Structure 1
Amino acid sequence: MYQVIKNTAKKVIKTNTVQIISKLLVTGLLFNVNPAFAEQESGFVNVSVNYWDWSQGTQERSGKKSFSYVGAEAGGGYDWGDVYGFLYLQNPAKGDFKADQAGQQGADQFRIEAKTTVNINISDSNWNWYGDIFNFSDSAGGYEQNLIAGLSYEVNTDSGFWIRPFLGAHYVHNSDIGAGFNGVMTGWALGYTTFIDDHKLTFFNWNEIELLRADEYAAINGDTTGLNGAASVWYHYSDQLSFGIQYRYAKDKLGANTYQNGFIYTTKYNF
């Protein structure tokens, strides 16, 4: 059964991944920019300053270093679905041309992370077509792109709790190994917003679990499975200003063949 699932997923991803994700993103873009196609029901834009504090054990096992980064996030809910994206600039003051980085550790390099996620409603159900594209690059020329195409399911409650699990085929483009089918990715995002007196708090958790990785990818990431996620709490001081603490964790991911954990401290301004 394992081999049947792997072979079937491989055939689908090789023929349809890029096409499916392209259609999802283009459709979402068209809806987003042309009011004739869709009605916007919600939205947000924010910028942030962040400090990622890796644990001492993580630094010893992986060679990573703690760092600061600036970010921007935006999202919108429409009658057709929703779209979300972020852009993070890590070590923003350390950008150098490749020739000037001889002997420099990877942990000291300037890095860019960018992601776009689209969920398109399937009729009036809670099911969605799911598309995700993530890009990572560093100033020494390393990069990775992950494309996910599949399904998600959303649950919203009157209590302030919501959850959205997803499952999709995974295609990877990596500067060390090239490009190809990389198994499947599953996971979830969930959140809960509540008030303590007049203080608004949001609890948030997301996870990405990679399964059935290609041998080439497993060789540089330590295993055929991988985990990447975070659990966070946010205090909304005002409509514009928020403060957050995230517990960040990963295993055989983020460029290290080991378990990694740390905290991210964030100040965020919401427009």
Structure 2
Amino acid sequence: MILTKLITHFFTKLAGAGFTLFVIFTFLLLQNDFDMYEFGESISSGFIWIVIYLYGVICSSLIDFLEWKIPRVNKGIKALLYMAAGYAFFLFNGFNVFTLIAGTIGALCSLLFYFGTYLSDRSKGTTFAFAIFVPLFFIIILNIDFTEKKQWHEVSEDSSFTATFQYFDGKHDIPITVQAGQTITISIEFVNRNGGGYGYSVVNHKDKLVGMTEVNEGVMKFTASDTDVYRVVVKGDDLQGGVKVNWKITDPN
């Protein structure tokens, strides 16, 4: 009996988290004008998932404990406690304009969490939908590459990569093997014919960003701490034009 109640309680909290996730991610999808690549990038932030599923579940459980211990905690007070928990997360760095805005958003998200648990208490179907199927759906989305390329033409050589395209929305990886201790200097030049967005980054095999030193505009370098296949990731946002990447690897003196 106790185990059943604990499992039910846990799934109710997961449903609250899933409902919050659903509302936030739906807003992000609309904000990105249904651009699936941008949407996938938006929901890939581990911060959102940790706050909702770890901080949210813990705070919601503590509030339930207070409600159990203090009979005077009614639904109105409970809602205020959820809002306070949403604010509290952003107040650790002091009170300022940023924490006020972020805290307000956090309070609204906390109320979404509360409403999600309320819906879950009233329907097993809602519980399973938001506790299991909603997060599973977004996890699947995270593992799909929505990059779109049109008339993409590329040329790869030992120390350069060139691509021209009619349309580029997403990312393209350029792998470069660098030995430990070697220094690689990378220059990147985009051709932008339509005012689209673009950018780039360098990551290791664990998809961790590599810290680089700026040499000149569009020219960066770093020294490899480990032998690895590093990836120059070029990104386009509804971009028309091209990109050229050159690199030079030098051995340690």
Q: Normalised by the shorter chain, which TM-score bucket?
A: under 0.3
TM-score (norm. length: structure 2) = 0.25
Higher strand share: 1
Q: Structure with the greater relative contact order (CA < 8 A, sep ≥ 6): 1 or 2?
A: 2
Higher helix share: 2
Greater Rg by CA: 2
